[in-house]
Chain A
Amino acid sequence: MLRTLVYLDADLASSIALRYICQLAQFVDIKLHSVHVEEPDQDGHAPGTGWVRRTWESTVLKTGEFEIAQLIKAEKSSCPKLGAPKMLIGDRENEILREIQKESYDLFVEGSLHSFTAKKLYDKIHSRLYRLIPCPVIIVKNLVNIEKVALIVRNEIESKKFISMFLKIFKGAKLKLDLVSCEFQEPGQLSFNAKKEINGTLSAAEEILVENKWPPENCLTIQGAPEEIADVLRDYGLVVSPLHHTISKKSNWFQLLNHIPSPILICWQ
């Protein structure tokens, strides 16, 4: 059973993430946990100590608790696996990280609406939480139907680790799978080729999946600009990608991830 932690705020992104993970729970054996962190104030300091502090904390938590309860109530009918959220107080990133490390979750899920500018995703990937997180992450940018998953592979060495991470999460899921290799080019030259590739990465990845009795439906090489390839990948309910924390903002790979409107599963390398 996949121990999954979903982060909730009382906002649209969290509502979408919640609906998405509940949908995913129909395909994967998931034990779903949710967490919300109430941040005290902008400088992050709680007032006083002892009784004063405890009373203040409980008041802050109660306010947040009501809003999150409303969010969960709205989704409860479509997601019976959803329990009461864990309410924490403190710095959002530190508290989530501590929670993931303490409970050894297998997967972290959070909503982050798709943005035209790259800054939002770049800051997230380079945040303290994502630099130190010990498990893969699903960033839910939009609410989509999960019917088909795309695995984008980069090179043979990386794909072994990345596919084994993917299989650990999704093994047994009845989802259609496509293997995709991307070749970046100037805009206006978008093309697809079934299995055409230079370095044999797709074949190697396909072999691993076949060995694990989950052969991909299609193996594709997509050539084009990052935004064009991302537009093609919008047809998938989940795009799985390996990622290094050191990725640069201007790299084609990062641009691709930013432009993909579907949820992305990041397997850290």
Chain B
Amino acid sequence: MRILVAVDQHSYSAHVVKDVAKLAGNTWADVTLVGVGAKVANIDSPSNKSGKKHPLIKTLQIYRRSFLKHFEKEESPYEKRACKYEFIEVKRGIWEELYVCRGARKDLKIVARSGNPIKEILAQSQEDDSDLIALGCYKEGDCQWEGIINFPQKVANNATCSVLVVKEEKQIRKIVCCLDQENISQKSIEMINQMVTLYQTELEIVGLTDGTTLKPMVEKNLDAILKYYNARQIKAWIKLVDTASLESFISQEARRSMMALWMGGQSIFTKIFPRGKVDKLIQGSKSSVLLLR
């Protein structure tokens, strides 16, 4: 798993770095922290006469320290490789001095890019082949990033991978999970599993009905998901929602729960919940939003 954390210099980014560190601790993911500045050029060159670091670089270094702080130094999969000669038992009773490098089992990359933040973040996620882009946002009001209106919404709508928009300082009590009803991927179920573990919360799985009943295939899938989570000691609830009431359900639940929506190409939610509504959800939600792809 590779996670891309898009950061700027606001407090919500510090918050998302902490959350991703916890997530990475559970998943042992490769992580990229990326910051985008309008004028990131010659940041460490001698021509920088002031001798001061570029503010974005300074921020990224603070976030790197904050991320690594989450791990015990010896246990950390991101700890740098230390190489030295060690005697290793190669056969029973025979030791040989070998040059051994230990540490850094997982990759932590810190990247500063210049240009249009949306394009650069999406480009970095393509280059890294990221599974998840995580970015922060204020709890209330619009999610402005460096003056760019609806920044997280634009990233969420244009990314090809899953996107997690973490609202600052909001305790998550429940994750409401709208998985695709007929084609649920193992990857999305596991991603939800990780979120539940990360936030130590309950899970509510939504089953879409055509008014009264569930399609047999959907019912079969819900049963399988329920058994999957129950086997992992995750408290999972099921709630039936009529397709016609989905929008009001989501806007009501988004006030108090983290919303997770499956927005893959074939997903029914992509049809019911187009871009404009996703924008509204991310903007209006007081809790974090996860768009699964």
Contact = CB atoms under 8 A, between A and B. Distances in A.
Interface in B68-82: none
Contact of A11 (B219, B230, B238, B239): B219
A94 B16 CA distance: 57
Given A12-B214, A120-B212, A114 B237 contact: yes
Interface residues of A, number: 16
Interface in B165-215: 202, 204, 207, 209, 212, 214
Nearest to A19: B230
Contact of B238 (A117, A120, A142, A231): A142
A176 to B, nearest CB: 18
A116 B223 contact: no
B204 to A, nearest CB: 8
Interface string A115-143: 11100100000000000000000000011
A238 interface: no
Contacts of A16: 226, 238
B175 to A, nearest CB: 14
B207 A113 contact: yes
Given A113-B207, A116-B249, A143-B230, A261 B223 contact: no
A143 B219 CA distance: 15
B222 A12 contact: yes
A137 B238 CA distance: 20
- Of A12, A114, A144, A261, the most chain B CB neighbours within 10 A belong to A12
A142 B235 CA distance: 10
Nearest to A11: B219
B230 A15 contact: no
Given A12-B219, A15-B223, A115 B239 contact: yes
Contact of A12 (B202, B223, B239, B245): B223
A261 B239 contact: yes
Interface string A96-123: 0000000000000000011111001000
A171 B249 CA distance: 39
Given A15-B223, A143-B230, A114 B214 contact: no
A117 B207 contact: no
A115 B242 CA distance: 8
Nearest to B226: A143
A160 interface: no
A231 B202 CA distance: 12
A33 interface: no
A113 B240 contact: yes
B203 to A, nearest CB: 11
Nearest to A227: B252
A231 B255 CA distance: 13
B259 interface: no
A116 B237 contact: no
B172 to A, nearest CB: 14
B233 to A, nearest CB: 11
A51 B59 CA distance: 85
A115 B249 CA distance: 11
A3 interface: no
B238 to A, nearest CB: 5
Contacts of B204: 261
A234 interface: yes
B289 interface: no
Contacts of B235: 144
A17 to B, nearest CB: 13
Nearest to B218: A12
A16 B238 CA distance: 11
Given A120-B212, A143-B226, A143-B230, A114 B238 contact: yes
A234 B214 CA distance: 23
Interface string A1-41: 00000000001100110000000000000000000000000
A78 to B, nearest CB: 12
A116 B219 contact: no
Contacts of A261: 204, 237, 239
27 contacts: A11-B219, A12-B214, A12-B222, A16-B226, A16-B238, A113-B207, A113-B214, A113-B238, A113-B239, A114-B240, A115-B240, A115-B241, A116-B239, A116-B241, A116-B245, A116-B249, A117-B241, A117-B242, A117-B245, A120-B212, A120-B240, A143-B226, A144-B235, A234-B202, A261-B204, A261-B237, A261-B239
Across chains A and B, which 3 residue pairs bring their CB atoms closest together, nearest first?
A115-B240, A116-B241, A12-B219
Given A12-B222, A116-B249, 9 more contacts: A12-B219, A113-B239, A113-B240, A114-B238, A117-B241, A120-B212, A120-B240, A144-B235, A261-B239
